[in-house]
């Protein structure tokens, strides 16, 4: 069983607990994107010292979930169009490579695990009704299993520790609905087949195409959100 990458931090100190809790809340949107971080308020909320909180914030900054700016302070990252493009450019290149390597390195039982995972997702009520496609973390996540299946430690670290929390933030907060759900499952199945057939070149191409479609879906939702915000601002003024 692979380890949950959202839960792979050993919680041995107060700083660890704050880091894990804040990471989850930021990714899921409980702590709003772009919001200013008040150290006194959060230290009181979590029952820790300011020094302990700062340790956690430093680690969140290394995950690209918070950022510090001169004369502004610490904020949760905002999900912007420019950041989406940059993140998905990196994601496409790295996950495409991971998929190519997985075609060579995944064991038959790992490939079967991918098939079983996809089958489980297909039979969830939310997916059958086309309402949402909330991709679970860690070893329940299709993409995470393929990344781990690459067997490349440096690639796994880059995606699962340095970048993937921000990727998940986009995926969770602006996930798939409607027709995109069934298309995504078809794409996942094609990727599994390429991996099972040890066709690394095809697997890489299919993964890049899949990620491009995911980016386009998120961009559409993001554009709609921005249009709504602009309309509301006009009405308010």
- CATH of residue 159's domain is 1.20.120.530
Q: Are residues 121 and 182 in the same domain?
A: yes
Question: Would you state the pLDDT for residue 128?
Answer: 53
Q: What is the pLDDT of residues 133-151, one digit of tens each?
A: 545 454 458 898 999 999 9
Whether 221 and 181 share a structural domain: yes
How many domains is the chain partitioned into structurally?
A: 2
CA distance 6 to 144: 11
Tens of pLDDT, residues 106-132: 999 999 999 998 888 777 645 555 555
Q: Which of 57, 76, 95 is the last residue of a domain?
A: 76
Same-domain status, 54 and 86: no
The answer on 169 and 52 residing in a single domain is: no
Structure tokens at 93: 């290149």
Angle at 75 between CA 49 and CA 91, to 5 degrees: 115
Inter-axis angle of helices 39-46 and 50-62, nearest 10: 110
Q: List the CATH number of the domain containing 57.
A: 1.10.10.10
How far, in Å, CA of 181 to CA of 13, rounded? 40
Specify if 215 maps to a domain: yes
Nearest to 156 by CA among 98, 201, 199: 98
Domain boundary residue, one of 45, 76, 107:
76
* 4 vs 24: CA distance, rounded Å: 13
């Amino acid at each position: 069983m692979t380890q949950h990458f959202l839960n792979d931090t050993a919680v041995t100190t107060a700083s660890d607990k704050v880091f894990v809790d804040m990471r989850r809340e930021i990714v899921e949107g409980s702590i709003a994107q772009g919001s200013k971080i008040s150290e006194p308020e959060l230290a009181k909320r979590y029952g820790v010292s300011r020094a302990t909180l700062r340790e956690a914030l430093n680690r969140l900054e290394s995950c690209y979930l918070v950022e510090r700016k001169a004369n502004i302070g610490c904020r949760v990252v905002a999900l912007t169009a420019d950041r989406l493009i940059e993140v998905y450019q990196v994601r496409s290149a790295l996950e495409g490579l991971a998929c190519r390597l997985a075609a060579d390195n995944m064991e038959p039982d790992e490939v079967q695990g991918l098939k079983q995972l996809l089958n489980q997702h297909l039979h969830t009520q939310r997916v059958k009704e086309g309402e949402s496609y909330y991709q679970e973390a860690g070893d329940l996540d299709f993409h995470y299993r393929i990344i781990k299946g690459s067997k490349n430690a440096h690639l796994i670290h880059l995606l699962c520790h340095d970048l993937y929390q921000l990727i998940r933030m986009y995926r969770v907060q602006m996930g798939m609905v409607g027709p995109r759900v069934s298309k995504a499952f078809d794409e996942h199945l094609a990727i599994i087949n390429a991996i099972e057939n040890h066709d690394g070149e095809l697997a890489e191409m299919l993964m890049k195409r899949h990620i491009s479609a995911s980016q386009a879906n998120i961009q559409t939702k993001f554009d709609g959100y921005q249009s709504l915000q602009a309309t509301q601002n006009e009405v308010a003024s």
